[in-house]
């Protein structure tokens, strides 16, 4: 049963990411300096492999988060939301900020990607404690 919960948590984050990045596609592509063709779309398109890899990596995050929640006794919706959001905001976002700072990327990119990390992990946290 735990594996199904981890899959559901990863799926929740994946779907949220789809909405997040579709909504913020233009500012994200500008901040990330994505090369675009005359039609305004990213050059070369996006491979389905990227999406599959994203989901697999979200499974890794959700699986580790489930383990941490179990060890920490995190069982309520509020605790799952706060703990998940905290992981995104205080673990993942600073790492993104460090990478972007060394890459001389704009702070806007960090805010967009860190915002998703925070909300995506909060969504994972909620789903992990639902069952």
> Phi and psi of 86, rounded to 5°?
-65, -40
Task: Please tell me the least confidently modeled range out of 16-25, 29-38, 103-112.
Answer: 29-38
* Domain extents in the chain: 2-34+47-130
- What pLDDT sits at residue 46? 82
How high is the pLDDT of residue 82? 98
Contacts of 20 (CB under 8 A, 6+ apart): 115, 116, 119, 120
Query: Which among 124, 125, 92, 100 is positioned nearest to 17, based on CA atoms?
Result: 124
Q: Is the pLDDT of residue 1 over 80?
A: no
């Amino acid at each position: 049963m735990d594996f199904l919960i981890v899959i559901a948590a990863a799926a929740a984050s994946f779907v949220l990411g789809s909405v997040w990045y579709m909504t913020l596609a233009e500012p994200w592509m500008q901040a990330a300096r994505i090369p675009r063709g005359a039609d305004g779309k990213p050059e070369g398109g996006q491979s389905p492999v990227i999406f599959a890899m994203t989901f697999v990596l979200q499974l890794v995050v959700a699986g580790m988060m489930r383990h941490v929640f179990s060890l920490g006794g995190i069982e309520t919706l509020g605790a799952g939301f706060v703990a998940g959001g905290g992981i995104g905001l205080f673990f993942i976002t600073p790492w993104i900020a460090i990478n972007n700072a060394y890459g001389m990327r704009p702070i806007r990119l960090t805010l967009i990607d860190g915002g998703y990390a925070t909300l995506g992990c909060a969504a994972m946290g909620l789903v992990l404690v639902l069952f």
